[in-house]
Amino acid sequence: MKGRFAPSPTGYIHLGNVWIALLSYISTRQQKGTYVVRMEDIDLQRSKRELGDALLDDLEWLGFEWDEGPRISGPESTYWQSERQEYYANILECLALEKLIYPCFCNRARLQSIASAPHVGEVVHRYDGHCRHIDEEKVKTLSAEKDPSLRLSIDSCDIEFTDRWQGVQHIHLEGELDDYVLRRGDGMYAYNLAVVLDDIVMGITEVIRGDDLLETTGQQIYLYKTLQTSFNSKNIQIPSYGHAPLLIDSEGHRLSKRQKSITIRELRDNQWSANRIVGELAIAGGLVKANTLHNREISISELIEIDLNLPSLSQKTIEIQIKE
């Protein structure tokens, strides 16, 4: 069994990040598994190496011990996505040879016009298949003028999976409408591609992450199945999923870097102990009761035996209040 924590180093790590890391770590250790830390720094414009190093410093200070990843090494040559792009490119070449992906030349204005006129009942931006059936000659002509993005060619299907905390999920993917981007026109690889390919090659069998990523799971499972068929491989296994509630503040705002949520670095500077931070998260998430802790403190190692099959983890959000 293998679990992982895969943060993006676009800012200092905050309580919402640590909450997910804590759940994935506890689950992996309970199953005597291998814990992997992977840096998802695929967004080269926003990600910074020094922020990744600071993130690792904070994880170590909090008491996390990983078995594979930065500073530990492992079977992979690197655990930074920015250094894995040749691997992604090779897989896309294979998919292109089998006509499973296609170039898309739609500009931002056109895509925004599609988004502004959604189909009845839709709440997300979907494509309209405009470039899916362009012939090879026109592709050559357009490619001379613009670098295209690459989209996965979807066959309409229904996908079902059982989430550890959110229960049975039914997702319908519609051909053309749900053809999603695997690589942008500027060469940046999409999250949905990189996360699946890295989870496959690293042997990840359990993915625990925030509920905000639940909607992407159907797309990722479709890609898993496409790769299973394309490579005729029984070694490509779809992991189990657990989507945990997001932490929100007293005003209902999700804790995030963009919201400038309180960071571990700030709490450290304010003389908070690692055990106090872990304790606050455990209390907010319903893992322990406040009256069972001294000074609201508990270590990560003390949480390993905690039951994670809790009603609180089936919620969409959990409010956390930081008290001095």
Q: In the structure, how many helices (H) and strands (E) does the chain have?
A: 9, 11
CB 9 within 8 A of CB 52: yes
What is the distance in angstroms between the CA of the first residue and the CA of the last residue of the chain? 39
In total, the chain counts a number of residues equal to 324
- Does a structural domain hold residue 115? no
CB 14 within 8 A of CB 263: yes
- Does a structural domain hold residue 70? yes
- Phi and psi for 157 in degrees, rounded to 5? -165, 165
- Does a structural domain hold residue 15? yes
- Does a structural domain hold residue 161? no
- Predicted confidence at residue 261, as pLDDT, reads 65
- Phi and psi for 81 in degrees, rounded to 5? -60, -30
- Does a structural domain hold residue 253? yes
Structural domain including 51 reads: 2-81+245-319
- Does a structural domain hold residue 196? no
- Predicted confidence at residue 253, as pLDDT, reads 77
- Does a structural domain hold residue 42? yes
CB burial of residue 170 (10 Å; 0-12, 13-18, 19+): exposed
| Gap between the Cα atoms of 322 and 246, Å rounded | 16
The neighbour count for residue 261, using CB atoms within 10 Å, is 21
Which residue has 């907010």 as its token pair? 284
Which residue has 């070449």 as its token pair? 93
Which residue has 């992991």 as its token pair? 239
CB 60 within 8 A of CB 264: no
132-to-121, 126, 137, 305 alpha-carbon distances in Å = 24, 14, 14, 51
| Gap between the Cα atoms of 202 and 171, Å rounded | 26
Instruction: Tell me how many domains the chain contains.
Output: 1
- Does a structural domain hold residue 184? no
The domain that holds 300 is classified in CATH as 3.40.50.620
Sign of CA dihedral 284, 285, 288, 294: negative
Report the candidate in 199, 200, 194, 174 with the shortest Cα–Cα distance to residue 182. Answer: 194
CB 166 within 8 A of CB 215: no
**Which neighbouring-strand residues pair with 181?**
151
Strands 149-152 and 101-104: antiparallel
In order along the chain (324 residues), what is the average pLDDT of each group of 10 residues?
97 95 98 98 94 98 98 96 97 96 91 55 66 93 93 97 98 94 96 97 98 95 96 91 94 67 89 97 96 95 96 95 69
- Phi and psi for 97 in degrees, rounded to 5? -60, -30
Q: Which residues contact 248 (CB under 8 A, 6 or more apart)?
A: 254, 255, 317, 318, 319, 320
- Predicted confidence at residue 115, as pLDDT, reads 55
Q: Strand, helix or coil at 84?
A: coil
Residue 146 exposure: Cα atoms within 13 Å on the Cβ side: 14
Report the candidate in 170, 173, 168, 217 with the shortest Cα–Cα distance to residue 196. Answer: 217
Across the chain, which distance is largest between two alpha carbons, in Å? 71
Q: Which residues contact 167 (CB under 8 A, 6 or more apart)?
A: 314
- Predicted confidence at residue 114, as pLDDT, reads 64
